[in-house]
């Protein structure tokens, strides 16, 4: 009987409802007829949604050959769940149904796990093939089951050649049984893997080192499988060999080094880890003694250098700065040592100790000391040379200044100029000092200061000759220590200071004294003491020359009997005063005096009395003329008085006064009173007589003779004489 479609669907729904697993009924052509509620629950959609768009949810074959298929079922959230679909054993034909009824079992976890294993297997295969180290599957007999290209490259054999060999065949004959104990432990499940280093023989015959890691894998159809990873460690071995050789060389170097080399560690307790044999030669202690006594280095340090060695931590952290200390050998000898410290640290970065090189630098220290002494000697010599150069330059300057001063002193025309020159050159010649030049008066009873310089007072300004020890002794008197030396009385003005007094002596005659005192309380420099003698000599010579020159000049312009100026001086002065009067417009007057009856006086009392009279008249004139007036002896018993800036009238009054004083003059000679004398005076002035010297003298002389003719003992002016004529 043929069922209607509605009846068929009902029957299909009833059939599907009987199946607990997700189920789907497909038509003969693969079209979807219906799905059960369980499938809708799994995909999260209604039956109508599934029937309307079945390709969104599932894909099943339309026919079945009786075998199951693995196909995904997509849920409403877009994820796939995998089901193992199998055709149902229901007889659909009996139900008047055509097609295939499929029921599914959710195997998503198993499927995904298998997929993951397959992917991992593929990844392992790819990694196995592409690995940079040699890899191989090996059975328990050591036969290669599968090898990667890296192993072929490492050994020099092709894959086919290796698959015909065992791993043992690649090993060096001496290393073939090297890993057998580990293999037994691996097969007995005592260990899961092991690593061994051994030598392989390359296909070309050369030997090289490899590191092999063997891992036991799960047992398969072929029994227990081993995975080997082989890599060349020849470079590392070469490095190790080189390092070992380097260590051996270093050990030989350390053991044969002349310097002491040691390592000292802090943890777990301070101790020497290594001390080179040279410690015995350098410090007298064998390495064993250092190992037994961790404090030996400190105990050997010289007591005066312990403070330096106490800083070893800071010095160790500053390896560029060596420690230089003295150490005491076992035999008691002291040696200089230089310690260079290099710190090392633990894994936490804390100072763990240091390596040190100790060098005996005794000889270099001695050489250094010799060089230092030589350098000091050279420096001292250079300093002395510099001082000599400075001293020489100073001496040259002093000589130049002294020469200049001497030249100026020789050009001085008066003592006052000489005093000024000395006061100017004193600070140049005696820098840093105060000084003075004091001159002995003609009376030789006092010494007066005439020149000085500096801020400190060089004693009293006026003192007696006996107040200066240099004048008493006739040689320099130097005081370097005022507390013990005998200080000149003229310097005892309060404070006691060093001093120097040098007498100014020339040709055996003392003219004065040169005095020097320092600006502070230090003794005078030796150069100043030496220079003072030369300066005193030059000043004394200049003063002696000036005195001699003054004496000669005085003799040339003075009358030896009366000590008044002579006629020569009058003529020079008159010419000068006439020029001055003409320039200033002031009058110049002149008096000529003549002693009345002087010949009779000589006849009556003798020439000695006449000379005495002339001297008395000279004294009278000197004491009764002004400072600017000039009194001269004109010749014989005649005197001339020159009166600058004086009119004829005033000059006549002065002449009258002089005449009166002469009349009143009384004197005696050899105890005998002499009679009074009178003078006749002629007066002339530039206003009346003219502006030439000859005219002025002639006018005054004519007036004098007029006074004589008028009876003597009177004053006649040139103008009055002219009026009378």
Cross-strand bridge partners of residue 10: none
Q: What is the pLDDT of residue 579?
A: 92
Please give the Cα distance from 25 to 602 (Å, whole number): 201
CB 16 within 8 A of CB 36: yes
- CA nearest to 607, candidates 676, 565, 658, 561: 561
Q: What is the pLDDT of residue 632?
A: 94
Q: Could you give the 3-state DSSP secondary structure of residue 699?
A: helix
How wide is the angle at C-alpha 542 spanned by C-alphas 539 and 545, nearest 5°? Answer: 150
Please give the Cα distance from 521 to 514 (Å, whole number): 19
Cross-strand bridge partners of residue 301: 327
Q: What is the pLDDT of residue 91?
A: 67
Instruction: Using 50 as the pLDDT threshold, list the residues of the chain that sit under it.
Output: 1-10, 725
Q: Which residues lie below 8 Å from residue 709, measured CB to CB, with a gap of 6+?
A: none
Q: What is the pLDDT of residue 319?
A: 57
Q: What is the pLDDT of residue 7?
A: 44
Please give the Cα distance from 700 to 140 (Å, whole number): 170
Q: What is the 3-state secondary structure (H, E, C) of 441-510?
A: CCCCCCEEEEEEECCCCCCCCEECHHHCHHHHHCCCEEECCCCCCCCCHHHCCCCCCCEEEEEEEECCEE
Q: What is the pLDDT of residue 335?
A: 92
Pairing of β 715-717 and β 679-685: parallel
Q: How many residues does the chain have?
A: 725
State residue 215 phi and psi, 5-degree precision: -120, 130
The total of other beta-carbon atoms located within 10 Å of residue 394's CB is 15
- CA nearest to 612, candidates 564, 659, 667: 667
Q: What is the pLDDT of residue 478?
A: 92
How wide is the angle at C-alpha 134 spanned by C-alphas 131 and 140, nearest 5°? Answer: 120
Q: What is the pLDDT of residue 62?
A: 56
Cross-strand bridge partners of residue 644: 588
State residue 579 phi and psi, 5-degree precision: -60, -45
CB 223 within 8 A of CB 139: yes
Burial 533-559 (b: 16+ CB within 10 A, else e): eebbbbbbbbbbebeeeeeeeeeebbb
Please give the Cα distance from 150 to 625 (Å, whole number): 145
Please give the Cα distance from 316 to 529 (Å, whole number): 60
Please give the Cα distance from 670 to 534 (Å, whole number): 51
* β-sheet with 630-635: strand ranges across: 630-635, 638-644, 588-595, 679-685, 715-717
Q: Where are the beta strands (DSSP E) in 508-637?
A: 509-518, 588-595, 630-635
Burial (CB count <10 Å: 0-12, 13-18, 19+), residue 495: exposed
Q: Could you give the 3-state DSSP secondary structure of residue 147?
A: strand
pLDDT digits (tens, 9 = 90+) for 590-634: 999 999 999 999 988 888 999 999 999 999 999 998 888 999 998
Please give the Cα distance from 313 to 343 (Å, whole number): 9
State residue 229 phi and psi, 5-degree precision: -120, 120
* β-sheet with 433-440: strand ranges across: 462-463, 447-453, 433-440, 509-518, 499-506, 477-479
Number of alpha carbons in the 13 Å side-chain half-sphere of residue 413: 1
CB 323 within 8 A of CB 354: no
Q: What is the pLDDT of residue 317?
A: 66
Prediction pTM value: 0.42
Burial 352-365 (b: 16+ CB within 10 A, else e): ebbbbbbbbbbeeb
Angle between helices 362-411 and 415-429 (to 10 degrees): 170
Instruction: Fill in the DSSP letter of residue 166.
Output: B
The catalytic residues are: 637
State residue 609 phi and psi, 5-degree precision: -65, -40
Q: What is the pLDDT of residue 8?
A: 42
Q: Could you give the 3-state DSSP secondary structure of residue 80?
A: strand
- CA nearest to 60, candidates 31, 80, 37: 31
* β-sheet with 100-106: strand ranges across: 32-35, 23-26, 100-106, 80-87, 69-74
Q: What is the pLDDT of residue 721?
A: 65
């Amino acid at each position: 009987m043929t069922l209607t479609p509605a009846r068929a669907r009902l029957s299909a729904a009833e059939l599907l409802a009987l199946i607990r697993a997700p189920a789907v009924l497909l038509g003969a052509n693969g079209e979807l007829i219906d799905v059960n509620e369980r499938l809708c629950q799994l995909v999260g959609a209604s039956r109508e949604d599934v029937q309307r768009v079945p390709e969104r949810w599932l894909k099943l074959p339309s026919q079945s050959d009786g075998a199951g298929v693995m196909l995904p079922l997509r849920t409403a959230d877009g994820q796939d769940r995998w089901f193992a679909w199998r055709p149902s054993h229901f007889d659909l034909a009996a139900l008047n149904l055509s097609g295939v009824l499929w029921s599914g079992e959710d195997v998503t976890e198993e499927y995904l796990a298998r997929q993951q294993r397959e992917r991992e297997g593929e990844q392992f295969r790819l990694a196995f093939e592409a690995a940079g180290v040699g890899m191989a599957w090996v059975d328990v007999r050591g036969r290669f089951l599968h090898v990667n290209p890296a192993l072929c490259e490492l050994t020099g054999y092709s894959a086919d050649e290796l698959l015909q060999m065992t791993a043992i065949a690649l090993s060096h004959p001496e290393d073939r049984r090297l890993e057998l104990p580990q293999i037994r432990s691996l097969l007995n499940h005592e260990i899961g893997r092991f690593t061994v280093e051994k030598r392989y023989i390359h296909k070309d015959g050369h030997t090289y080192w490899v590191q092999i890691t063997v891992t036991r894998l799960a047992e398969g159809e072929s029994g227990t499988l081993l995975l080997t990873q082989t890599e060349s460690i020849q470079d590392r071995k070469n490095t190790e060999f080189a390092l070992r050789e380097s260590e051996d060389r270093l050990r030989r170097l350390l053991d044969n080094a002349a310097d002491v080399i040691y390592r000292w560690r802090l943890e777990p307790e301070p101790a020497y880890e290594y001390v080179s044999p040279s410690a015995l030669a350098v410090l007298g202690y064998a390495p064993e003694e250092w190992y037994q006594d961790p404090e030996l280095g400190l105990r050997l340090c010289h007591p005066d250098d312990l403070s330096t060695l106490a800083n070893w931590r800071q010095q160790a952290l500053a390896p560029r700065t060596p420690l230089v200390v003295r150490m005491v050998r076992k035999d008691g000898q002291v040696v200089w040592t230089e310690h260079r410290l290099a710190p090392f640290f633990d894994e936490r970065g804390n100072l763990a100790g240091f390596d040190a090189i100790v060098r005996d630098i005794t000889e270099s220290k001695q050489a250094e000391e010799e060089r230092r002494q030589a350098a000091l000697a050279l420096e001292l010599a250079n300093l002395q040379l510099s001082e000599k150069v400075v001293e020489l330059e100073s001496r040259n300057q002093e000589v130049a200044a002294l020469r200049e001063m001497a030249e100026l002193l020789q050009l001085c025309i008066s003592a006052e100029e000489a005093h000024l020159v000395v006061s100017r050159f004193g600070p140049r010649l005696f820098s840093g000092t105060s000084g003075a030049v004091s001159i002995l008066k003609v009376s030789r009873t006092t010494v007066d200061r005439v020149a000085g310089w500096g801020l400190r007072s060089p004693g009293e300004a006026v003192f007696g000759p006996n107040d200066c020890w240099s004048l008493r002794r006739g040689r320099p008197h130097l005081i370097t220590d005022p507390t013990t030396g005998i200080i000149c009385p003229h310097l005892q003005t309060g404070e006691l200071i060093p001093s120097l007094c040098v007498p100014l002596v020339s040709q055996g005659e003392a003219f004065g004294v040169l005095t020097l005192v320092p600006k502070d309380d230090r003794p005078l420099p030796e150069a100043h003491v030496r220079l003072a003698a030369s300066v005193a000599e030059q000043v004394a010579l200049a003063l002696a020359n000036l005195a001699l020159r003054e004496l000669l000049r005085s003799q040339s312009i003075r009358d030896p009997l009366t000590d008044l100026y002579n006629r020569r001086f009058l003529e020079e002065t008159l010419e000068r005063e006439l020029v001055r009067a003409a320039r200033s417009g002031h009058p110049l007057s002149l008096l000529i005096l003549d002693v009345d009856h002087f010949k009779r006086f000589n006849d009556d009392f003798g020439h000695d009395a006449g000379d005495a009279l002339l001297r008395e008249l000279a004294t009278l004139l000197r004491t009764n003329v002004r400072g600017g007036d000039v009194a001269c002896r004109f010749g014989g018993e005649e005197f001339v008085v020159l009166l600058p800036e004086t009119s004829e009238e005033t000059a006549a009054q002065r002449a009258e006064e002089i005449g009166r004083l002469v009349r009143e003059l009384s004197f005696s000679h050899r105890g005998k009173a002499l009679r009074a004398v009178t003078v006749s005076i002629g007066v002339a002035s530039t206003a009346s007589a003219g502006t030439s010297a000859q005219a002025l003298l002639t006018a005054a002389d004519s007036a004098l003779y007029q006074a004589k003719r008028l009876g003597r003992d009177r004053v006649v002016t040139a103008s009055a004489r002219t009026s009378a004529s």
